[in-house]
Structure 1
Amino acid sequence: MINVGEYNTLKVIRKSTPGVYLDDGAEGILLPNRAVPENTRVGDEIKVFVYHDSDNRLIATTETPRAVVGDNVRLKVVSVTPQGAFLDWGLMKDLFVPKSQQLSFMRLGGEYLVHLYIDRQTGRVAATEKIESFLSNDPLTVKENDEVSLTVYRPSDMGYVVIINGIHTGLLYNDEVFQTLSPGDKLDGFVRKIREDGKLDVVAGKRGYEKVGGEAGRILRMLEDNGGYLPLNDKSDPEDIYRMLGMSKKTFKMTTGALYKQQKIIFTQTGIQILGEGD
Structure 2
Amino acid sequence: MLLGRTQTLKISEKNSSGWILTDESGEKAFLPKIFIREEKEIDEEVEAFVYQDDGKLKATTEIPLAEIGEFAVMSCVQSLPSGAFMDWGIIKDLFIPYKQQKSKIIEGKRYLVYLYIDEATGLITGTTKFKRNPQYQDLTFKKGDKVELILMNESELGWNVVIDKKYIGLVYASDVYKKLYPLSEETGYIKAMREDGKIDVSLQREGFENIDEFRQKVLDKLEENYGLLYLSDQSTPEEIKEKLQMSKKNFKKAIGGLYKDKVIDISEDKIRLL
TM interval, shorter chain, is 0.7 to 0.9
1:35 aligns with 2:35: yes
Which residue of the other structure, out of 214, 226, 233, is the alignment partner of 1:220?
Answer: 214
- Give the letter for the 2:97 counterpart: P
Alignment of 1:163-182 (within 5 A): 163-182=162-181
Aligned match of 1:72: 71
Aligned match of 2:94: 95
Aligned match of 1:16: 15
Structure label with greater radius of gyration: 2
Give deviations 1:88-130, integer Å, cap 9, x for gaps: 1111111111111110111111111111111223322211111
The count of corresponding residues between Structure 1 and Structure 2 is 248
CA shift, 1:234, in A, is: 1.4
Aligned match of 1:145: 143
- Give the letter for the 1:80 counterpart: S
Question: Share of identical aligned residues, percent?
Answer: 31
Aligned match of 2:203: 204
CA shift, 1:256, in A, is: 7.4
Q: For 1:62 and 1:204, locate their aligned partners in 2 and report how far apart those are by CA, in whole Å.
A: 34
Aligned match of 1:269: none
Alignment of 1:1-279 (within 5 A): 2-24=1-23, 25=25, 28-53=28-53, 55-132=54-131, 136-142=134-140, 145-149=143-147, 150-195=149-194, 197-208=196-207, 212=211, 220=214, 233-234=224-225, 245-247=241-243
SS in 1 for 2:224: coil
Q: For 2:31 and 2:175, locate their aligned partners in 1 and report how far apart those are by CA, in whole Å.
A: 47
8 Å Cα contact 1:137/1:168 also seen in 2 = no
Return closer, same or farther for 1:144/1:64 CA change in 2, 3 Å cut-off: closer
8 Å Cα contact 1:140/1:168 also seen in 2 = no
Q: For 1:120 and 1:222, locate their aligned partners in 2 and report how far apart those are by CA, in whole Å.
A: 52
- Give the letter for the 1:44 counterpart: E
TM-score, with normalisation over the residues of structure 1?
0.73
TM-score, with normalisation over the residues of structure 2?
0.74
Aligned match of 2:234: none
Return closer, same or farther for 1:138/1:103 CA change in 2, 3 Å cut-off: same
Q: For 1:210 and 1:153, locate their aligned partners in 2 and report how far apart those are by CA, in whole Å.
A: 30
Q: For 1:256 and 1:210, locate their aligned partners in 2 and report how far apart those are by CA, in whole Å.
A: 11
Return closer, same or farther for 1:244/1:186 CA change in 2, 3 Å cut-off: farther
CA shift, 1:221, in A, is: 10
Return closer, same or farther for 1:262/1:132 CA change in 2, 3 Å cut-off: farther
SS in 2 for 1:108: coil
Return closer, same or farther for 1:65/1:207 CA change in 2, 3 Å cut-off: same
- Give the letter for the 1:33 counterpart: K
- Give the letter for the 1:127 counterpart: G
Give deviations 1:148-204, integer Å, cap 9, x for gaps: 523323211131022344554432122322333333333332333455544443211
8 Å Cα contact 2:214/2:254 also seen in 1 = no
